[in-house]
Amino acid sequence: MKKIIGSEIAVFLLAIQFMTRLPTPRDAGFTSERLTAATRYYPLIGMIVGLISAGVFYGVHLILPVLIAVLLSTAAGLFLTGAFHEDGLADTFDGIGGGASKDRALDIMKDSRIGVFGAAALILALSIKIAALSSLEPQSIVIGLVAAHGLSRFSSVIVIATSRYVRAEGAGKHTSQGISGAGLTVATITAALCLTVIAYFLSPAAALWSAAGLCAGHVFMRAIFERKLGGYTGDTLGAVQQTSEIGVYLGLVAWV
């Protein structure tokens, strides 16, 4: 039992290392199998990022207006993740936005430089997030941040479970084997917890609107990249996370 628990802790720590800049033990017991299994904890890591971002919002809002608190909480989220998902969004739109072939699109997405399509997508995404959150009541912002970060990582997990990785190598290569049934169950339970939090602290209707927004963001982004690429990359997982997160916020705005 101790061995199983120790292994699972190592998997969780690897998920934190891969998805955030949060401090973890240098020797987290890395193995390729554990990194693959870490996918199950992506929604939980998202909730942690959202909780910290919500804490920043709450603390700042005690003395400053909502808009400034939202801006600083967004900055905190970017710092915690190293803008990991935002980079994927920009790379995805750079690769696909120009109408290039699949191979050319994949090459463009590997380029560390940001292009016009990527910059436009990133600016719009951040602007929509900030505008949507700023239009909500403070309690809804706190709950929305925690739940949206968790649910949007679950959206990426669904891509891993239902699509295929199209690169020979890359940052998302460890996801190419998909996710086990047990891992998907863990991720799904975490996502259900996020919706339960919304339903309990806001209302069941708010949870339904959030779920609808999540699905819309998920479907929207997959419609953009899967037809062109025939599957996903690490960058497109980040793009799905971003549009799904935005979808949750917009769902909450629609509920209000």
- DSSP of 108-147: HHH-SS--HHHHHHHHHHHHHHHHHHHTS-HHHHHHHHHH
pLDDT band at 167 (very low <50, low <70, confident <90, very high): confident
Confidence at residue 251, expressed as pLDDT on a 0 to 100 scale = 98
Amino acid type, 226: E
Confidence at residue 139, expressed as pLDDT on a 0 to 100 scale = 98
Residues 232, 165: Cα–Cα separation, whole Å: 5
Q: Is 132 helix (H, G, I), strand (E, B) or coil?
A: helix
Give the torsion through C-alpha atoms of 86, 89, 90, 93, to 10 deg.
-170
Whether residue 4 has pLDDT greater than 90: no
Per-residue DSSP letters for 16-33? HHHH------S-----HH
The residue with tokens 């969004």 is: 89
Whether residue 28 has pLDDT greater than 70: no
Residue 220 exposure: Cα atoms within 13 Å on the Cβ side: 17
Summarize pLDDT for 68-85 with one digit per residue, the tens.
Answer: 999 999 999 999 999 999
pLDDT band at 3 (very low <50, low <70, confident <90, very high): confident
Confidence at residue 97, expressed as pLDDT on a 0 to 100 scale = 83
Q: How many CB atoms lie within 10 A of CB 247?
A: 27
Average pLDDT over residues 34-59: 96
242: nearest Cα among 110, 115, 126? 126
Residue 232: beta bridge partners? 165
| 204-229 helix and 234-255 helix, angle to the nearest 10 degrees | 150
SS3 percent helix, strand, coil of the chain, rounded to 5, is: 80, 0, 20
Summarize pLDDT for 185-215 with one digit per residue, the tens.
Answer: 999 999 999 999 999 999 999 999 999 999 9
The first and second tokens of residue 204, run together, are 């069941």
